């Protein structure tokens, strides 16, 4: 405390109390600003939306996801609409479906193994050829990449709104999934350094 011989002790006490009050207010304001800044700071995370149900695009999504996870990023993949086909179990029983849901099920791929390519599919031949060329060159298949993603703790999220809209049930999908909607995706995306849409 600064002592001034010409100032009465009660005034000095009042000045000291005011200075302490102002310092406390500045500290509280700075703590609040730092807390807000911490909330806006991104984490070492990556988020990928998988909208496509095409083999080549889903492959790209899993290559990016496993690469991000291997690089140390906390990675999540959000599967919505056509992307849900990549998460279907092979020959899964769907339970009760209405006519439209049955038609959707017949028109969409039944599992990751039946995804077509986005270009040059030619009634499924494009996918067969792509898988054969990848195998011949020692490139991991989609199913192997999906297994690797699980080993690397990539979070796989099935969009519940898309499931409802397309008549996809949990029983049709592979295990160990997270289920959620836009809020689930946004909770991951707002703190991600990388966000991709495939």
Residues 66/148, Cβ–Cβ less than 8 Å: yes
Assigned token pair, 110: 């039944």
Average pLDDT over residues 172-189: 94
Average pLDDT over residues 145-170: 95
Higher pLDDT, 35 or 45: 45
Q: Is the pLDDT of residue 37 over 70?
A: no
Q: How confident is the model at residue 40 (pLDDT cuts 50, 70, 90)?
A: low
Distance from C-alpha of 43 to C-alpha of 37, rounded to nearest angstrom: 12
pLDDT of residue 32: 79
Q: How confident is the model at residue 34 (pLDDT cuts 50, 70, 90)?
A: confident
- C-beta neighbour count of 20 within 10 angstroms: 11
pLDDT digits (tens, 9 = 90+) for 74-99: 999 999 999 999 999 987 666 688 88
Q: Is the pLDDT of residue 41 over 70?
A: no
pLDDT of residue 132: 95
pLDDT of residue 1: 47
Higher pLDDT, 42 or 23: 23
Q: How confident is the model at residue 117 (pLDDT cuts 50, 70, 90)?
A: very high
Distance from C-alpha of 128 to C-alpha of 87, rounded to nearest angstrom: 19
Question: Model's pTM, two decimal places?
Answer: 0.77
pLDDT of residue 4: 58
Q: What is the mean pLDDT of the chain?
A: 89
Average pLDDT over residues 1-27: 76
pLDDT of residue 123: 87
Distance, C-alpha 46 to centroid of its chain: 7
């Amino acid at each position: 405390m600064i002592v001034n011989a010409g100032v009465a002790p009660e005034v000095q006490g009042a000045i000291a109390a005011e200075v302490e009050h102002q310092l406390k207010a500045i500290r509280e304001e700075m703590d609040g600003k730092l807390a807000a800044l911490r909330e806006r700071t991104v984490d070492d995370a990556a988020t990928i939306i998988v909208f496509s149900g095409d083999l080549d695009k889903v492959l790209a999504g899993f290559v990016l996801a496993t690469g991000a996870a291997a690089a140390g990023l906390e990675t999540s993949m959000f599967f919505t609409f056509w992307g849900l086909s990549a998460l279907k179990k092979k020959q899964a029983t769907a339970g009760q479906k209405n006519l439209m849901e049955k038609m959707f099920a017949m028109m969409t791929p039944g599992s990751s193994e039946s995804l077509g390519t986005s270009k040059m599919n030619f009634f499924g031949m494009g996918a067969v050829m792509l898988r054969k060329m990848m195998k011949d060159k020692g490139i991991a298949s989609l199913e192997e990449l999906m297994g690797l993603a699980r080993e690397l703790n990539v979070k796989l999220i099935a969009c519940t709104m898309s499931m409802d809209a397309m008549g996809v049930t949990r029983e049709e999908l592979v295990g160990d999934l997270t289920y959620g909607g836009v809020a689930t995706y946004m909770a991951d995306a707002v703190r991600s350094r990388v966000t991709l849409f495939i």
